[in-house]
Structure 1
Amino acid sequence: MMNARAVLLSAVASGQGKTTVTAALARKLSRAGHRVAVFKTGPDFIDPMLLGVACGASVDVLDLWMCTETQCRALLAAAAASHDYILIEGVMGLYDGLPSSADLARRFGVPVLAVLDVSAMAQTALALARGLRDHGPVPWAGIIANRVASAGHAAMISGAASADLAVLGHLPRQSTSLPERHLGLHLPSDLPDLEARLDALADALHLDDAILAALPPLAADDIAAPAVPPLLAGKRIAIARDAAFAFIYPANLRTLSAMGAELAFFSPLADQPLPEHCDAVWLPGGYPELHAAQLAAGRRWQTSLRDAVARGLPLWAECGGMMALAQTLDDGHGTRHAMAGILPGHIRMGSKLAGLGSQAWHHAAGELRGHTFHYSQFDTDLVPQQHCQRKDGRDGGEAVYRHGSVQASYFHAYFASQPQAAAALFLGTP
């Protein structure tokens, strides 16, 4: 029986504090003994990691285009069957993007909980909330006022509420918050005091439990994730995973396992060589530029990769993984670091976004969907074997390179969108 109550936390724009409030609410509900599942709307790696620490479980993304509607339904159904609350953090503003967070809320009947930065307003917050609710319209849960200055400020906002525009709670302005950098928030591994920060946020969050508990249960379809063929049965895939290569969707690991692959992890930052008896390698994205000196000093991981490629092992390298395979990496601070030297070319970090948005790779085995988000450039004489296509159908997507047994791109693939194409990456087939 499904009794989970779900809310989608959204806002008028980015920067309103959605991640902070979602993390605070997840930690508060979890500490109260509730089983809490958290999702993130849209392509994202970092926010789900932080939210996963807040709720104590892995966090999947929900994206009607990248993940497909069927995958989203299956994820929500599984969560609703085993949790008391489902929190979905939106992306950008409520109606931004195609599909938007509002589209997701309407498609699955999830009420919107608006996170509003009220640091420069009071009663006007209710007018903004009414506009957010009625523009779509969307199913509605209420408001959480963020960055509240005082108890009096909170009282002014709650005093303007009505039965149809309820204020579920507020979060006072915080002297410390979750820090950011060029690709978003810091990784949990970079924040040794993250647990304390999350507990402090949960303590600071004022919540009307009665209003939250009165929300109707989510009407989730009782469906399972689509079955996948055992295309990788008997294959052992080496996967880089550490602070430099941390951008891994949980769904990607599940998809590889469901296709029969054995997953073996290693850490280039710890200079670990590839695990023994591997049939293929995956270097996911991450922050190699922040750890370039340490990666450059590692000889065992570089040598083992070069040996694997020389033996013809299929290697899929995406974004940060591709950067680590280049000859050098310019970290943007005037230092050039030697990388594995498997791909001819050089990486230059920049101060502006060089690629952003959802894209599709029209692979021979089917359309593999994903996204791109990077600040660096790859200067290479390699001729792309193909280019991805932007979500809106325009050309100009990321290049996909093939060099021997290596395939590499700035494109981050969501394997569950097309398992056959994902399997081909590790079988060495075109």
Structure 2
Amino acid sequence: MKGFVIAGVTSGVGKTTIATGILAALARRGLRPQPFKVGPDYIDPTYHRAACGVPSRNLDSWLLPQEALRELFARAMRGRQVAVVEGVMGLFDGASPYSDEGSTAQVAKLLGLPVVLVVDARKVARSVAATVLGFREFDRELRIVGVILNGIAGPRHLEFCAPPIERATELPVLGYLPRRDDLALPERHLGLVPMVEGPAGRPFFERLAAQVEKTVDLDRLLHLASVRPPAEPPPRLFPAGPLPRRCRIAVALDQAFSFYYQDALDLLEAWGAEVVPVSPLEDAGLPEGCGALYLGGGFPELYARELAENRPFLESVRAAYARGVPIYAECGGLMYLGEEIEDFQGQRHPMAGLLPIATSMQGARLQLGYRRLRALADGPLLRRGEEARGHEFHWSLLHRRADAPAAYEVLDQPGRQEGFRVGSIWASYVHLHLGSSPRLAPRLVDVASAVTPN
């Protein structure tokens, strides 16, 4: 088996561009790459999938227990030839300032994968060797096998970067990407623009793959990436065998709502749910016979007018709530269930009106970080007193219009309660990965099955 981690010295050095280009180039060779993303990010994996046609899987060693992470990795590698794991932030950045917990480095060591270091060379020459040397020496248990440079201006610039790295570190420079505006990925307030919105078409991926094939030594990279195939552990998250269909769960999936982990959806199906995609932007209502609605995160603030104008779908959500259908919502889904969303232009758009809140992008500021939660009551994923790990990542501000019971106690922020539980609704800004505990997916399927008509 082949496998490697594409890691950066910092955020913004071009990890996603390079990982996506390598995936596209490997697929053009007829190989079967399997993409992964370290950390909780939902957007970068959409570029991986567009590049090679295979869903990308998140490997977050803070959200996921180590055994679960290994299980998900081994399961995804069935029938695949090359694991391409894009890191998060800088190689050693994670959940702790004192250890590699939650970092790309920790995931590489857990899976026994070599690391290819990506360095942004746009504003540096020989000094880049000192940076690479520091990364090589910082943790000698980590196996860094090569370097890829981004932002090379030309042959003379490459001459001032690559030989000093190889002389100082004895690591090969496996290639580079030149400065090309037509290879830049589009960004906005939460990072890259998700591929569900169509920011890059096939010509972009063809250009990127052609550039990688031209200036990255893929043969040498694959030679350095030979690893032992993962031993598949006993199932911890997935059932031991196939289970019959017991319910239908509607999942909001369109340009406004696209923040889901592929493994989470796979878990729901494995435990007996039929996952039914539905569009709050375009569909006239929820599908018949659904026992639960899962409203994930995304960018409802950018589509607030269109969401408000789709009154039939809003009414179907209200009707499902009135019937007691469980509704689980995260971040953007929470915003949709409130009374209104105020967009970046200050325009207010009415939403479902099922939660006594309004959300606004006016005066917004970024809220992000990992969160440890304890459920304050029985809900669709957790029972009262059970704990889970999640992450928060949003710009919007929330204004309460009335009191409502909270969903969680935030254990690592003493005194803070988070989210809402109103009737059959369980909503919060915090995103959960259903692979973080073997209890989560089976419980949601059980709850939905109790509502689904026979």
User: TM exceeds 0.5?
Assistant: yes
Provide the C-alpha distance between the structure 2 equivalents of 1:322 and 1:239, rounded to a whole number of angstroms: 14
Offset of residue 187 of structure 1: 1.4
Offset of residue 284 of structure 1: 0.9
Provide the C-alpha distance between the structure 1 equivalents of 2:264 and 2:424, rounded to a whole number of angstroms: 21
Report Cα offsets for 1:166-216 as digits up to 9, x if no partner.
001100011131110011101113335432112212222211234213215
Provide the C-alpha distance between the structure 2 equivalents of 1:82 and 1:224, rounded to a whole number of angstroms: 18
RMSD across aligned C-alpha pairs, in angstroms? 2.2
Q: State whether structure 2 residue 410 is matched by structure 1 residue 389.
A: yes
Residue in structure 2 matched with residue 288 of structure 1 by the alignment: 300
Provide the C-alpha distance between the structure 2 equivalents of 1:93 and 1:397, rounded to a whole number of angstroms: 30
TM-aligned CA distance change 1:193 to 1:80, over 3 Å: closer
Unmatched tracts of structure 1, length 5 or more: none
The 5 Å alignment of 1:12-411 reads 12-98=9-95, 99=101, 100-137=103-140, 138-160=142-164, 161-162=166-167, 164-176=170-182, 177-191=184-198, 193-205=200-212, 206-219=215-228, 220-223=230-233, 225-228=235-238, 234-350=246-362, 352-363=364-375, 365=383, 366-380=386-400, 381-389=402-410, 393-395=412-414, 399-411=418-430
Matched residue SS, 1:294: helix
Provide the C-alpha distance between the structure 2 equivalents of 1:182 and 1:276, rounded to a whole number of angstroms: 36
Offset of residue 232 of structure 1: 9.7
Report Cα offsets for 1:227-249 as digits up to 9, x if no partner.
54699951211111101011111
Offset of residue 75 of structure 1: 2.7
Provide the C-alpha distance between the structure 2 equivalents of 1:77 and 1:263, rounded to a whole number of angstroms: 23
Report Cα offsets for 1:128-166 as digits up to 9, x if no partner.
111111101221121000010012222333333248310
- TM value normalised by structure 2: 0.88
TM-aligned CA distance change 1:59 to 1:152, over 3 Å: same
Provide the C-alpha distance between the structure 2 equivalents of 1:262 and 1:421, rounded to a whole number of angstroms: 16
Provide the C-alpha distance between the structure 1 equivalents of 2:78 and 2:410, rounded to a whole number of angstroms: 37
Provide the C-alpha distance between the structure 2 equivalents of 1:58 and 1:317, rounded to a whole number of angstroms: 23
TM-aligned CA distance change 1:136 to 1:34, over 3 Å: same
Q: When the two structures are aligned, how many residues end up with a matched partner?
A: 424
**Which segment is superposed worse, 130-139 or 418-427?**
418-427
User: How many percent identity over aligned positions?
Assistant: 37
Offset of residue 79 of structure 1: 4.2
**Which segment is superposed worse, 151-160 or 303-312?**
151-160
Report Cα offsets for 1:306-325 as digits up to 9, x if no partner.
11111111111111011111
Provide the C-alpha distance between the structure 1 equivalents of 2:45 and 2:417, rounded to a whole number of angstroms: 24
* Native 8 Å contact 1:386 1:400 kept in 2: yes
TM-aligned CA distance change 1:114 to 1:252, over 3 Å: same
Provide the C-alpha distance between the structure 1 equivalents of 2:89 and 2:363, rounded to a whole number of angstroms: 21
TM-aligned CA distance change 1:342 to 1:231, over 3 Å: farther
* Native 8 Å contact 2:327 2:426 kept in 1: yes
**Which segment is superposed worse, 272-281 or 381-390?**
381-390
Provide the C-alpha distance between the structure 1 equivalents of 2:417 and 2:19, rounded to a whole number of angstroms: 32
Matched residue SS, 2:145: strand
Unmatched tracts of structure 2, length 5 or more: 96-100, 376-381
Instruction: Read off the aligned partner of 2:369 and give its amino acid letter.
Output: G
Provide the C-alpha distance between the structure 2 equivalents of 1:396 and 1:132, rounded to a whole number of angstroms: 39
Provide the C-alpha distance between the structure 2 equivalents of 1:48 and 1:94, rounded to a whole number of angstroms: 18
* Native 8 Å contact 1:9 1:115 kept in 2: yes
Matched residue SS, 2:439: helix
* Native 8 Å contact 1:407 1:425 kept in 2: no
TM-aligned CA distance change 1:396 to 1:349, over 3 Å: farther
Instruction: Read off the aligned partner of 2:387 and give its amino acid letter.
Output: E
Provide the C-alpha distance between the structure 2 equivalents of 1:86 and 1:398, rounded to a whole number of angstroms: 39
Report Cα offsets for 1:237-274 as digits up to 9, x if no partner.
11111010111110110111111111122111104300
Provide the C-alpha distance between the structure 1 equivalents of 2:414 and 2:82, rounded to a whole number of angstroms: 41
Report Cα offsets for 1:80-139 as digits up to 9, x if no partner.
442232111111111111321112222222111111000112232222111111101221
* Native 8 Å contact 1:359 1:388 kept in 2: no
Instruction: Read off the aligned partner of 1:375 and give its amino acid letter.
Output: W
Provide the C-alpha distance between the structure 1 equivalents of 2:429 and 2:52, rounded to a whole number of angstroms: 30
Residue in structure 1 matched with residue 439 of structure 2 by the alignment: 420
Provide the C-alpha distance between the structure 2 equivalents of 1:68 and 1:227, rounded to a whole number of angstroms: 11
Instruction: Read off the aligned partner of 1:121 and give its amino acid letter.
Output: V
Provide the C-alpha distance between the structure 1 equivalents of 2:70 and 2:15, rounded to a whole number of angstroms: 23
Provide the C-alpha distance between the structure 2 equivalents of 1:398 and 1:186, rounded to a whole number of angstroms: 31
Matched residue SS, 1:415: coil
TM-aligned CA distance change 1:299 to 1:394, over 3 Å: closer
TM-aligned CA distance change 1:340 to 1:386, over 3 Å: closer
Matched residue SS, 2:259: coil
**Which segment is superposed worse, 366-375 or 404-413?**
366-375
Report Cα offsets for 1:354-395 as digits up to 9, x if no partner.
4211223323544332211011122122334343436xx343
